[in-house]
Amino acid sequence: MLRQRDRTVRRAHGQQSLGRRRFDGVVVLATEGAAEPRLHDVGWELHAHYTRRAVPAPQHLDRAAIEEILPHRDPFLLVDEVLELLPGERVVARKTVTDVDCAGHFPGNPIMPGVKMVEALAQCGAVAVLSQPENRGKLALFAGIDDVRFKRIVRPGDVLDLSCEVEAVRGPIGRGKVRASVDGELAVRGTLTFAVET
């Protein structure tokens, strides 16, 4: 129900027009007398009054910046660069697979082990969580690996595009949907649960 001096906000999948404003994945329906919107939850519907939430710009991180966030080091740092980072929400990263990543697996037929691909995805997710100011200097540890599926072989020279969408966080425990692909072809996907050291 719309009230004077209010704006009602509903989640939307497509573009909206005429009397509606779109920001941060939410559509604002305007009514007379309302100023800029400020969002607060009211069940599935949101009401807005007077201020707008700022949406941070995605960040890009090189290897040195990643090492400031993650405690991992060579040969076990499996993220080469972060292409997009929204702390606590989303990470898109890249890993170029080398012979060292596949050493001994298997002689004459090098294949990146699935456990290393999952570790690369976990490190990707750890960047999202540990880049938050309240988690700087802490460790993020595995608490669960669910629904992981391997879809293609990954070899030296392949570039793994890694992504993690943080789904839920309760206290020190969180969960994220992860996926890795090579040239747009899915290599592995799954759900990882993590625990941040307190």
Q: 57 to each of 54, 70, 84, how far by Cα in Å?
A: 9, 21, 9
* 164 within 8 A of 178, measured Cβ to Cβ: yes
CA distance 62 to 117: 20
Give me the catalytic one of 47, 49, 72, 105.
105
* 87 within 8 A of 72, measured Cβ to Cβ: no
CA distance 96 to 196: 27
Give catalytic status of residue 72 as yes or no: no
Q: Phi then psi for 72, rounded to 5 degrees?
A: -65, 150
* 9 within 8 A of 27, measured Cβ to Cβ: yes
Token output for 64: 């040195």
Q: Which residue has the tokens 């993020």?
A: 140
CA distance 143 to 122: 11
Positions marked catalytic: 105
